[in-house]
């Protein structure tokens, strides 16, 4: 049962300190607001002449002078723009190995050494357990650099306030949405296919969009906030920052409201464009996830005309958070200061709910050493009592057994000797097994050295391996797919190379439509675009065909589009790893600029068996030559032949039929400028540039995960 202690949820934002105190009333099964505080900073922390540490300390001093925290739990929020959130789909994994797999994924997803960050993870809704494995399980990974966490914690440590929970602002707002708007309680799972709600939080310098249906979460930061509107007024109307801020909040009361809104219109349009692009990206990566409404919060959302402007252009109902439906406590909820600033209390509300145990969120970014020290301090009294009890029992037990052990007991000694002998025998077996394995290893190593001796360069072998890993293929159960149009494989007719002295001339000769398709593929998959090739290198031409054709997915799984969503983006990646294969270098190896020169689709008739079944494995590895047949015996790894040796039909063969299928013949070209292993960069040099650069007008969001790195 949740604790009845009071909990403070505190958020220190750019504009001020917001705090909300909640308590759980067990008799009424109701969360009650019992206190709040709102302390605006004298200046916005991001203003050039502001000193954030002094302003925060001043706000903390006022807060502590007005409120007593003794005996209460404290949960604090962390800014979204400094945090990182990634949502990954796990491969089938045993439940006991989830943490190990997630730690491996965290190393890949977090762009800093794990020792330099505080991170935590949580399994989200969805997925199932079958045969001892978790299937389609989704996990959220949340992180922030350790120095930034300690910077947020410092004002509380300086004032000797113990913090129970540290949570990033988007997850605190998820707590608010799930509990207050969607009605999800601890121990409950959100219904599959529930409505998606988008929460748009406008801060001072940035905004955050968080979309959820209670089971899944999607987060994206937008580099536009309330200050951008204020700066537009200072520039257009020649005002000081303070006067522009006041005019922005009271635009309808100004002498000339039309001039104010005219000055703000460009920022309104930019803000709308970013929101539309983010919501559009969410819809594209969450097929079937329809957003039912948009909730606005943050004091920036109080700006006159913003709600109406967004609702007219987004085609979604846009509402502002004006009350907390599941919260009681008239003294707080009806207070004028609270009512006026209620949109800015969503983070504090969500923080307090999680610290009370009223949400399904379990992650925290409180440094583990602080949490461990606090847990030890809390358990010290009980540990002392337990130790005293054990010592008393041990003393009494010693007195009772002292007399019995005055005599010599040979039996325990003999048992120890017997166990020692068995252990020596087991150890000898381990030594023998190790020596045998070491011998096999050295033999294999010597064989490998013999095979590669004299080779001057293995880069071409690595190149072919990388190209092979970029080809789409069937994995797992898909290998048994009988429908030719559902198979993922490509049929390669040839792969040829030509040494070019000037790759730039080749690239310039390409039609603009061909180059544009590759650029659009890169944008759609969140890949970095690089400059056109130049200098000398190899031009590869890949010819072949495929039969992949899903009727309900013409935009991704038919004809030319299938190539543009499989092999083309794979050949544009820095590194590539398929589910059943190793990680290989692609652009890191020097492969780049793939284009589809031809992609002609035609309808052809093929003869195929519908219900044929194998009577044995594809390859019999028990034979000396697994690919050979035993004379006079049928090939157990093959399908039964349609005709017998005398020309009569084979009764065991399955019937065949003619079927019309879609075949796409294609020609793909790409460039390879070999990069020796010693000269390859460990990380993509363009990744940080793409993440840091603001999105241009009409450009898709750069990140494929729906979030931005800090």
Residues with Cβ within 8 Å of residue 391, at least 6 apart in sequence: none
Per-residue pLDDT of 573-606, as tens digits, reads 999 999 888 999 999 999 999 999 988 889 998 8
Q: Can you list the alpha helix ranges (DSSP code H) found in 50-143?
A: 52-66, 98-109
205 vs 285: CA distance, rounded Å: 27
Token pair of 261 as six digits: 């809104």
Task: Write b or e for each residue in 198-208: b if 16 or more Cβ atoms lie within 10 A of its Cβ, otherwise e.
Answer: bbbbbbbbbbb
Q: Which of the four pLDDT bands, split at 50, 70 and 90, describes residue 627?
A: very low
Q: Which residue has the tokens 């040796």?
A: 645
At the top level of CATH, the class of 7-366 is alpha beta
Q: Are 33 and 42 in contact (CB under 8 A)?
A: no
Q: Are 362 and 24 in contact (CB under 8 A)?
A: no
Which of 207-221, 327-341, 376-390, 502-516 is least confident?
376-390
Q: Which of the four pLDDT bands, split at 50, 70 and 90, describes residue 621?
A: very low
708 vs 710: CA distance, rounded Å: 6
First to last CA, the chain: 37
* Beta-bridge partners for 37: 19
Which H, E and C letters describe 107-143, residue by residue?
HHHCCCCHHHEEEEEEECCCCEEECCEEECCEEEEEE
Token pair of 466 as six digits: 């990388």
573 vs 586: CA distance, rounded Å: 6
Q: Are 599 and 563 in contact (CB under 8 A)?
A: yes
Residue 154: which H helix or E strand, with range? helix 146-158
Specify the pLDDT at position 678.
86
Specify the pLDDT at position 690.
53
Residue 320: which H helix or E strand, with range? strand 318-320
Question: Considering the entire predicted model, what is its pTM?
Answer: 0.55
Q: Say how many C-beta atoms besides its own lie within 10 A of residue 614's C-beta.
A: 12
**pLDDT(637) > 50:** no
Q: Which of the four pLDDT bands, split at 50, 70 and 90, describes residue 521?
A: confident
Q: Are 557 and 487 in contact (CB under 8 A)?
A: no
Q: How long is the chain?
A: 710
Higher confidence at residue 420 or residue 654?
420
* CA angle, residues 101, 571, 567, in degrees to nearest 5: 90
Average pLDDT score, the chain: 84
316 vs 291: CA distance, rounded Å: 8
Strand stretches in 448-590, DSSP E: 491-500, 537-546, 575-576, 584-585
Mean per-residue pLDDT for 206-215? Answer: 90
Q: Which residue has the tokens 């005599």?
A: 407
Give how far Cα 376 sits from Cα of 72, 369, 379, 468, Å: 19, 11, 5, 54
Q: Give the pairing type, strands 291-297 and 327-328.
A: unpaired
For residue 606, the Cα-to-chain-centroid distance in whole angstroms is: 43
Per-residue pLDDT of 19-57, as tens digits, reads 999 999 988 889 999 999 999 998 888 888 889 999 999
Q: Say how many C-beta atoms besides its own lie within 10 A of residue 490's C-beta.
A: 22
Specify the pLDDT at position 619.
46
641 vs 645: CA distance, rounded Å: 10
**Domain residue spans of the chain:** 7-366, 413-445, 459-610+651-679
Which of the 8 DSSP states describes residue 91?
P
Which one, of 598, 596, 465, 463, lies nearest residue 537 by Cα?
463
């Amino acid at each position: 049962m949740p604790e009845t202690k009071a909990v403070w949820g505190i958020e220190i934002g750019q504009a001020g300190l917001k705090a909300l105190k909640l308590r759980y009333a067990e008799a009424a099964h109701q969360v009650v607001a019992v206190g709040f505080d709102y302390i605006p900073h004298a200046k916005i922390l991001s203003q050039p002449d502001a000193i954030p540490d002094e302003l925060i300390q001043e706000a903390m001093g006022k807060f502590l002078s007005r409120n007593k925290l003794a005996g209460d739990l404290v949960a604090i929020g962390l800014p979204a723009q400094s945090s990182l959130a990634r949502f990954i789909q796990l491969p089938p994994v045993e439940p006991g190995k989830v943490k190990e797999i997630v730690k491996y994924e965290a190393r890949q997803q977090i762009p800093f050494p794990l020792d330099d960050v505080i991170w935590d993870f949580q399994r989200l809704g969805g997925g199932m357990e079958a045969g001892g494995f978790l299937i389609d399980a989704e996990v959220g990974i949340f992180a922030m650099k350790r120095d930034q966490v300690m910077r947020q914690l410092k004002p509380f440590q300086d004032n000797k306030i113990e913090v129970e929970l540290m949570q990033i602002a988007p997850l605190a707002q998820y707590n608010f949405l799930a509990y207050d708007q969607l009605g999800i309680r601890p121990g409950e799972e959100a219904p599959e296919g529930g409505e998606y709600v988008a929460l748009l939080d406008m801060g001072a310098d940035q905004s955050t969009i968080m979309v959820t249906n209670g089971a899944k979460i999607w987060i994206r930061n937008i580099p536009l906030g309330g200050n951008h509107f204020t700066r537009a007024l200072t520039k257009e109307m020649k005002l000081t920052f303070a006067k522009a801020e006041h005019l922005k909040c009271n635009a309808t009361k100004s002498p000339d409201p039309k001039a104010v809104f005219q000055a703000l219109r460009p920022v309104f349009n930019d803000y709308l464009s970013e929101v539309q692009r983010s919501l559009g990206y969410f819809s594209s990566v969450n097929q079937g996830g329809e957003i039912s409404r948009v909730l606005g919060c943050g004091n920036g959302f109080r700006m006159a005309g913003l709600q109406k402007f967004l609702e007219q252009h987004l085609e979604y109902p846009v509402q502002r958070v004006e009350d907390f439906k599941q919260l009681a406590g008239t003294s707080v909820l009806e207070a004028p200061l609270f009512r006026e600033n209620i949109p800015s209390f969503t983070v504090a509300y969500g923080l307090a709910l999680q610290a009370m145990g009223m949400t399904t969120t379990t992650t925290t970014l409180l440094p583990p050493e602080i949490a461990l020290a606090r847990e030890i301090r809390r358990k010290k009294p009980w540990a002392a009592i337990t130790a005293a009890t054990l010592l008393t029992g041990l003393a009494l037990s010693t007195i009772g057994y002292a007399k019995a052990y005055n005599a010599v007991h040979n039996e325990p000694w003999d048992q120890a000797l017997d166990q020692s002998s068995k252990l020596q025998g087991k150890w000898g077996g381990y030594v023998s097994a190790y020596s045998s394995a070491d011998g096999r290893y050295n033999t294999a190593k010597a064989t490998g050295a013999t095979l590669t001796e004299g080779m001057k360069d293995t880069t071409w072998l690595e190149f072919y391996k990388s190209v092979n890993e970029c080809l789409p293929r069937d994995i797992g159960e898909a290998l048994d797919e009988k429908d030719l149009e559902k198979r993922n494989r490509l049929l390669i007719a040839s792969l040829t190379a030509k040494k070019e002295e000037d790759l730039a001339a080749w690239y310039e000769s390409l039609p603009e439509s061909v180059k544009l398709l590759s650029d659009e593929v890169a944008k759609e998959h969140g890949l970095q675009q690089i400059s056109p090739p130049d200098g000398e290198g190899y031009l590869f031409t890949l010819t072949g065909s495929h039969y992949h054709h899903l009727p309900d997915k013409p935009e991704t799984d038919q004809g030319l589009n299938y190539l543009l969503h499989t092999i083309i983006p794979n050949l544009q990646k820095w590194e590539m790893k398929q589910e059943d294969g190793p990680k290989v270098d692609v652009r890191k190896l020097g492969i780049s600029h793939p284009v589809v020169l031809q992609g002609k689709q035609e309808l052809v008739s093929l003869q195929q068996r519908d219900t044929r079944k194998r009577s044995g494995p594809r390859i019999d590895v028990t034979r000396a030559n697994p690919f050979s047949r035993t004379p006079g015996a049928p090939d157990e790894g093959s399908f039964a032949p349609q005709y017998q040796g005398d020309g009569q039909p084979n009764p065991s063969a399955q019937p065949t039929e003619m079927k019309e299928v879609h075949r796409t013949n294609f020609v793909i070209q790409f460039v390879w400028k070999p990069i020796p292993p010693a000269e390859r960069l460990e990380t993509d040099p363009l990744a940080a540039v793409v993440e840091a650069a603001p999105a241009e007008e009409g450009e898709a969001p750069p990140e494929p995960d729906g979030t931005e790195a800090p």
